Structure 1
Amino acid sequence: MSDIDVLLQQETWRFWDQSLSGKSRSALESFAADDLLCQLVGQGQSPATVRTWVHSQTIVLGIQDHRLPFVEDAQDFLLTQGYTPIVRNSGGLAVVLDDGVLNLSIVLSEIQQSIDIPTGYEVMLAFIQLLFPEAEGKIEAYEIVGSYCPGSYDLSINGKKFAGISQRRLRQGIAVQVYLCVEGSGSERAELIRQFYEIGVQGEETKFSYPEIKPEVMASLNELLNASFAVEDIVIRIQQLLQQLSTNVVSQSVTQDEMDLYQFYMQRVVDRNKKMLNEK
């Protein structure tokens, strides 16, 4: 059995679904939740966990996005389009979250074995491939030039990106996070980010090389698979897949015992985001 199979076939999986409850809440709560899970799973206080989450009309910005010469103008543009900008606590650049984008975190522990960064990415790739058998042999992982938040583990079908993966590591816990563009138009989301960078740069020379967005290289799973998935359909698939991978799946949100620690991480994320957004 490969390392990937071992990591996917956990004795117990915890499943925490926030695909409905998260919509009306700030995406900052999701970053706090993943930090919480990193500590709990990393310290052996919780089994390996899969968390699903959806947030409405949010643009999650990376640290480099705050070094745009005209970042205030760019953020004002997002607000006029009905989107709330926040700053993430893992790597990467701007991404779009809305009701048609399902986010998935797989949180694993390094207590038994160390998990290097490529292995973390490969676990998520394998999970997504299992999740969409109708795309068998079609889902590839390599950088899609012209996409927003490009990276070596962009997930694509026929050269069009529908997902991006990032990682967060904390206290022997690893949260591998992916956003899946399920519904709607991938190119419309990309056009929003293209305009964000155009307004943020305004032709100025920058030390950091921001992506030149080509909206046509991004698409949703519905567009790519000629499907009519709703986000909730994929959440059900995730639960079914976990049941195939483990004999014991426990559906559990944050418990009363975990609440103080969650509040600690929440405050930390809020403070950090406020500091970043206020920096000139």
Structure 2
Amino acid sequence: MDRNTQWRFIDQTTLGPTFNALQSFAIDDSLCTTVGNEDSISTIRTWVHHNTIVLGIQDSRLPHVQDGVSYLQEQGYDVIVRNSGGLAVVLDDEILNISLIVKDEKKFSINDGYDLMVQFIQEMLSSYKVTIEAKEIVGSYCPGSYDLSIGGKKFAGISQRRIRGGVAVQIYLCAAGSGAIRAETIKHFYNYAVQDKPTKFAYPIIKKETMASLSELLGEQLSIQTLMLKLLTTFKNRGASLHPDQLTSQEIELYQHNYERIIERNKKALNE
């Protein structure tokens, strides 16, 4: 994210409970295509979903996944399967999601994509004078080598999607609420979905004390709006220009095609 660069800014944080997470994945795929084709400049998209559990493909293959899904639905969650890497995560109205969508250059490795997001979040939160580490937090849900943590407690996770010449680096940031309660929800999902049966992958053994929200970690109530202001300030401090925008007619057409495809894939993944 060099200085003096131009970025499109698509803000979808206030679309409300009817905005489905499957729509987000279809939107990012569409933006990857136009950025990859150079029909669009690099794009930052912000988004919020209400009471949603996003499962990974591997989660959907657990021996009793339907029991796990039923449990989550009884708790009031919508359940979907993501098309990027990773395992189960919680999304709700106190979690900010950010997608950085850039052209996939040969020299731009997978680690470069993760590093881009890590550096951006560290700058976003630099005023708090805390050390933000990027390393796997064992015991968290969806553990990975680019978990973001403060004092050993995870508050964010990063995933990446590369498609049609574009790269979408996506992060969820837990602004407020209880990290432990979110962790317990996913722990119960795995209990129902596995039921001591053998599995084809090592699912995480979740410990609720490994996760927290930024509000809990910083001792200050943070909102989605707080983080959005910090995001905008970070771009300004870098000398980058943000251009508020919405999907073009070309992107809407791509989105409709991608959304239908993702809905079908999701139904198959959950055997609906």
**TM-score calculated relative to the size of structure 2:** 0.96
Aligned-partner Cα distance in 2 for 1:205–1:110: 38
What is the match of residue 156 of structure 2? Answer: 163
What is the match of residue 200 of structure 1? Answer: 193
What is the match of residue 151 of structure 1? Answer: 144
Q: Which amino acid aligns with 2:132?
A: I
Number of aligned residues: 272
Aligned-partner Cα distance in 2 for 1:137–1:183: 17
What is the match of residue 40 of structure 1? Answer: 34
1:221 is aligned, of 187, 194, 214, to 214
Kindly state the Cα deviation for residue 248 of structure 1 after the two structures are TM-superposed.
2.4
2:126 is aligned, of 111, 129, 133, to 133
1:238 is aligned, of 231, 240, 261, to 231
Q: Which amino acid aligns with 1:95?
A: V
What is the match of residue 260 of structure 2? Answer: 267
Aligned-partner Cα distance in 2 for 1:8–1:157: 26
The reply to whether residue 12 of structure 1 matches residue 24 of structure 2 is no
Q: Which amino acid aligns with 1:62?
A: G
Kindly state the Cα deviation for residue 47 of structure 1 after the two structures are TM-superposed.
0.9
Aligned-partner Cα distance in 2 for 1:148–1:247: 34
Identity %: 52
Aligned-partner Cα distance in 2 for 1:143–1:237: 25
What are the within-5 Å matches in structure 2 for residues 56-71 of structure 1?
A: 56-71=50-65
Query: Which consecutive residues of structure 1, in runs of 5 or more, have no partner in the other structure?
Result: 1-6
What are the within-5 Å matches in structure 2 for residues 43-122 of structure 1?
A: 43-111=37-105, 114-122=107-115
Query: Is the CA contact 1:155–1:161 (under 8 Å) kept in the aligned structure 2?
Result: yes
Query: Is the CA contact 2:175–2:224 (under 8 Å) kept in the aligned structure 1?
Result: yes
User: Equivalent residue of 1:41, what SS?
Assistant: helix
Counterparts in 2 of 1:278 and 1:10: CA distance versus 1, 3 Å: farther
Aligned-partner Cα distance in 2 for 1:77–1:83: 9
The reply to whether residue 255 of structure 1 matches residue 248 of structure 2 is yes
Q: Which amino acid aligns with 1:12?
A: Q
Range that drifts further, 244-253 or 207-216: 244-253
What is the match of residue 3 of structure 1? Answer: none
The reply to whether residue 178 of structure 1 matches residue 178 of structure 2 is no
- 1:174-203 C-alpha deviation (Å, 9 max, x unpaired): 000000011100010000000000111111
Aligned-partner Cα distance in 2 for 1:273–1:136: 41
Q: Which amino acid aligns with 1:209?
A: A
Kindly state the Cα deviation for residue 10 of structure 1 after the two structures are TM-superposed.
5.5
Q: Which amino acid aligns with 2:44?
A: V
Aligned-partner Cα distance in 1 for 2:41–2:12: 18
Range that drifts further, 40-49 or 231-240: 231-240
Kindly state the Cα deviation for residue 269 of structure 1 after the two structures are TM-superposed.
1.2
Structural RMSD (CA) = 1.4
Query: Which consecutive residues of structure 2, in runs of 5 or more, have no partner in the other structure?
Result: none
Q: Which amino acid aligns with 1:129?
A: Q
The reply to whether residue 209 of structure 1 matches residue 214 of structure 2 is no
Query: Is the CA contact 2:31–2:251 (under 8 Å) kept in the aligned structure 1?
Result: no
**TM-score calculated relative to the size of structure 1:** 0.93
Kindly state the Cα deviation for residue 256 of structure 1 after the two structures are TM-superposed.
2.6
Query: Is the CA contact 1:23–1:55 (under 8 Å) kept in the aligned structure 2?
Result: yes
- 1:121-160 C-alpha deviation (Å, 9 max, x unpaired): 1000000001001344510000000000000000000000
Kindly state the Cα deviation for residue 50 of structure 1 after the two structures are TM-superposed.
0.7
Q: Which amino acid aligns with 2:216?
A: E
Q: Which amino acid aligns with 1:14?
A: R
- 1:25-79 C-alpha deviation (Å, 9 max, x unpaired): 1100000111011111111111111100000000000011111111111100000
Aligned-partner Cα distance in 2 for 1:144–1:115: 26
